[in-house]
Structure 1
């Protein structure tokens, strides 16, 4: 599992255009990556269909070096959002093969993000969610039911499911997988001292809280072998008092690096404290001006683990900031999320110099719940437009996007819930 640096050292004016050798045999053609965006486009049976392929076909050819899919769930009994793809077996293998081929058609490296929502599953989809402990999601009682604590055997089953899902996706042609260990989903819940109150081998100390993610990484590596990519998306912190801290996050990163992960994507926050959306008031104005919300933490990781490939997502908009982050050596890859939902061609235009920045900015009203809802829905609705063969409509009033999202996903949520998925 050899990890090497870029074959050509980036310059201050051309850092983003340089290839990056992630590991022997896998070269990412440039430093721009699509971060995971939850598409909510699966068929009703949670298999990928025409619409999700149409969306990724629209993104194919935009010169991205790395493409990471949105949530692929490992258990159809635990759905994070309406329209999640679920991979538990080979039932949709041909669809997965085509999906991977579309992503890779222009030379991009393809990773599938795999996830379990834990307690962060809407009650309309999962009336009885599971979690490390029976601790409800703060401030979200109407949307998310109080979870049931997982048993030891159930934890082992979920670990097996992560590995099984990863194996199917790699056999279908994806270059590897990314474990979603951020944003308040199940892996993040196990890591959090606020969500994980266990006193057995899965909690009670930082070492025991991180056992879950380490066991998942080991099981996936055993399933996909040494030639496929094993990545993880991890919170720098969850930005909640008494929660998962930067210091503890760094300890988790050290342990994962020892397991041989190939790429760490740094993010932060949960849907209760949405630092990753740029709307959380805890983010300093100086951080917003730097664009990269979690760059300080990335620099800490780089200083301690200089050989671990790093991807940073959250806030990047200008070529200048992206180039600085890569050329300085702080990170290896720059992740773009929301800009791709509104400006699908922006990667190629940034790389060839025809534009110097994305025009996408966080939408704020000053009311936290409304800000989070607006951010989460606006970009999903734009992806739906592209999935239907239309172009994004960024000037639509945010209220229209919210209404469309709630009408559609409200109906879908009830129907899925009634089917017991």
Structure 2
């Protein structure tokens, strides 16, 4: 039996090949212009990551509807109006010889009121614990659900035509598809809700529509919550049923994450929802991955798995791969602060350096404040600078308030980074 480690290539069900087992996962870059087109800062950022050594780069969430943005600076793809810039972005992201996939997303109710005329969702349930950023959504009509499916497929076709090698469908973190999957946010009683099978219908219809546009040999991936970590939300049992359905659809890679903006397990702040034993093993969702691996195997299906969240040391990453629990290690924040980290990992380096931003001291802003701290580091990379681990988070707070929609939009020149 061949020995497998981080350096081993992986052939996906579509026939596409990852040159190694390290992936840069989606991060919130916020580097579009005011027309939601990619900027040269974004292109420069991905050119740097293309040289990182990672076998797969997944872009930050790209919106399929410019009327529904999750934050200031989202790229949106509805058609080919920005095809030249998309092509430059794709060329930069694939320059190192790895795969580069676009993460496609609709925010649903997680669309800030200050950036959007309104928001839509499966049902009229407002997101809580978000300081009033989000308003009450309107329930989607059947015709609008059909339009969402069409938009995902159109965006997928457009970005692949521009030169990206695949797509990832974002069905986690409380965005629209995650909202449809959750019994807490999907109270519909029509063909799109009311039972687990109906709640996952939208995700499966989108996977089928995207596959029909891209054909059998272009990678189609899904990002899914292991659980919502909310009372009444999607639990691990129902999530496992969704995974099996996706495996039977023949997707190429499942990225496992968890939580929503109301219960932010994916930010590394699970508030006790994730077992201490799992945290001790670094990879927050590895136990769940082992469970679904067994389910998939018993069903006779083939679905490569990627876990994102908590990986820092080479030994733990290698063990996760060699044990067969997962097929790909997903890294996010470590690649912001160390853009060349995959090269070091593949060469046998010890792992990521421990870097944590200082606390703001304002409880209600801590989680998002930390996200913004990393967002500012991304902007530095986009400007051709190196990360600044000593930057104080208080300097980022005004930018957070603007991006969250609590203050007005920034001036054209933006904030100094």
What TM-score bracket applies, with the shorter chain setting the length?
A: over 0.9
Report if aligned partners of 1:279, 1:364 keep a CA contact under 8 Å in 2.
no
**What residue number does 1:34 align with?**
24
Instruction: Name the SS for the 1:190 alignment partner.
Output: helix
**What residue number does 1:287 align with?**
278
Give the superposition deviation at 1:350.
Answer: 1.5
**What residue number does 2:371 align with?**
376
Give the superposition deviation at 1:28.
Answer: 0.5
Distance 1:123-1:415 versus aligned 2 partners, 3 A rule: farther
Structure 2 unpaired stretches of 5+: 412-417
**What residue number does 1:130 align with?**
120
1:190-239 CA-partner distances (Å, limit 9, x unpaired): 00111111100010111111111011111111111111111000000000
2:288 to 290, 297, 309: 297
Distance 1:408-1:263 versus aligned 2 partners, 3 A rule: closer
Report if aligned partners of 1:266, 1:294 keep a CA contact under 8 Å in 2.
yes
Instruction: Name the SS for the 1:120 alignment partner.
Output: coil
1:336-347 equivalences in 2 (<5 Å) = 336-347=331-342
1:208-287 equivalences in 2 (<5 Å) = 208-282=198-272, 283-287=274-278
Give the superposition deviation at 1:360.
Answer: 3.4
1:168-210 CA-partner distances (Å, limit 9, x unpaired): 0111111110000000000000001111111000101111111
Q: Matched residues in 2 for 1:159 and 1:211: separation?
A: 11
Q: Matched residues in 2 for 1:276 and 1:368: separation?
A: 18
1:333 to 305, 311, 328: 328
Report if aligned partners of 1:363, 1:374 keep a CA contact under 8 Å in 2.
no
Q: Matched residues in 2 for 1:151 and 1:325: separation?
A: 43
Report if aligned partners of 1:114, 1:180 keep a CA contact under 8 Å in 2.
yes
Comparing 19-28 and 173-182, the one that deviates more: 19-28
Give the superposition deviation at 1:374.
Answer: 2.2
- Normalising by structure 2, what TM-score? 0.93
**What residue number does 1:176 align with?**
166
Structure 1 unpaired stretches of 5+: 1-7, 417-421
Q: Does 2:373 match 1:359?
A: no
- Normalising by structure 1, what TM-score? 0.92
Q: Matched residues in 2 for 1:55 and 1:252: separation?
A: 34
Count residues in correspondence.
406
Distance 1:367-1:236 versus aligned 2 partners, 3 A rule: farther
**What residue number does 1:397 align with?**
392
**What residue number does 1:9 align with?**
2
